[in-house]
Chain A
Amino acid sequence: MSLVSRALEEAGIPTVVLGAAKDIVEHVGVARFAFSDVPLGNSAGLPHDAESQRSALECALTLLETAPGPRTTWQTPLRWNGGDHEWKRDFNNLGQLDAEAIARQRASFEEQKARARGANA
């Protein structure tokens, strides 16, 4: 998605990325990045919490208006579980991978790769 942002900027369309993977978006490099420090899948706001969704969108819109230059990152006001960070322990936690899980992940990954190759052929 960061690559799409870059292409739009190059085409003269200002962009803002509203995302949750801070290191990835900043590694690729985008013009404006509103970062939500929440589990992946929730960068536009907390589930069933319209007010939090408004606050994330407003952050992104204000960033569109005011960013002084490229690589401007702001953090949205979103807080997961009231600011408890325990959720960060679990994502892609190798300690939770047993042999069966590895085999399952590999099979799924191989299937995706095959499909992607077919689609790009």
Chain B
Amino acid sequence: MAQTDSVKSPTGAADVTALDPARDGIPEPFLSQPIRYIDRTRAWYQALGYEPYRWPTFDTVPFQPLRKPLADSRLALITTAAPIRPDAGDQGPGAAYNGAAKFFEVYSSPVDDPADVRISHIGYDRHHSTAEDPNTWLPLPRLHEAIAAGRLGSLAPRFHGVPTLRSPRTTMSEHAPDIVARCQADDVDVALLVPV
């Protein structure tokens, strides 16, 4: 708690979650703010001896207005979760980080007979979450309910998985166009993306 006096007011919040929590402490008022993952990850990579990962950023953001009511729309669900592979070690609830479970190409899986997709290949919060319930990252049952209730028109026949390879260039040049093509082939009206 030696350096908590460096955090004096909410105006100092810009850096507070970049602090080392064990060393510096985080006063409760700042804990109510969202975690600053970019700062924490940069500090983490530096501690491991790597250059910090640089997330891309853009001056402009594309925006497509809704074309028709959701009740008449076909939705594509997109995930970063990975289909379980028998040869890739422990991928179930509570599994340690498992790089072998990563995938490297876009995949698709039928929404009516979905692959069992898990998140052991991703740095999710393992302290506070055991990844037992796939509904926390793949809301397929909830989407089926929304369709039954008339809230949403329909689901595309398959959902899609996007690799997480820490390469924005590969995502932009290969995976994103692949996803776009698959969504166009399925004639979807809207897309729900749930990153783990």
- Which A residues are within 8 Å of any B CB, using their own CB? 1-19, 21-25, 27-31, 35, 37, 39-48, 50, 53-54, 56-58, 60-61, 64-65, 67, 69-71, 80, 85-97, 102, 105-106, 108-109, 111-112, 115-116, 119-120
Contacts and interface: CB of A to CB of B under 8 A. Distances in A.
B188 A13 contact: yes
Interface in B108-144: 119, 122-125, 127-133, 135-139, 141-143
A9 B21 contact: no
A2 B123 CA distance: 17
Nearest to A62: B70
Given A44-B135, A115-B102, A120-B167, A16 B180 contact: no
Given A40-B123, A61-B152, A120-B104, A30 B132 contact: no
Interface in B43-84: 43-44, 47-50, 55-58, 60-67, 69-70, 76, 78, 80
Nearest to A75: B34
Contacts, number: 271
B175 interface: yes
A115 B180 CA distance: 25
Given A1-B78, A4-B78, A116-B104, A42 B192 contact: no
A28 B57 contact: yes
Given A95-B22, A116-B167, A14 B31 contact: no
Contact of B128 (A18, A64, A80, A115): A80
B36 A39 contact: no
Main secondary structure, interface of B, reads loop
Interface of B: 17, 20-23, 26, 28, 31-32, 34-41, 43-44, 47-50, 55-58, 60-67, 69-70, 76, 78, 80, 97, 99, 102, 104-105, 119, 122-125, 127-133, 135-139, 141-143, 145-146, 151-152, 162, 165-168, 170-172, 175-177, 179-180, 183-184, 188-196
Given A50-B135, A90-B125, 9 more contacts: A6-B62, A31-B61, A40-B123, A41-B136, A47-B136, A53-B142, A91-B37, A115-B99, A120-B170
Given A4-B176, A15-B193, A85 B62 contact: no
A46 B22 CA distance: 27
A76 to B, nearest CB: 12
A81 to B, nearest CB: 8
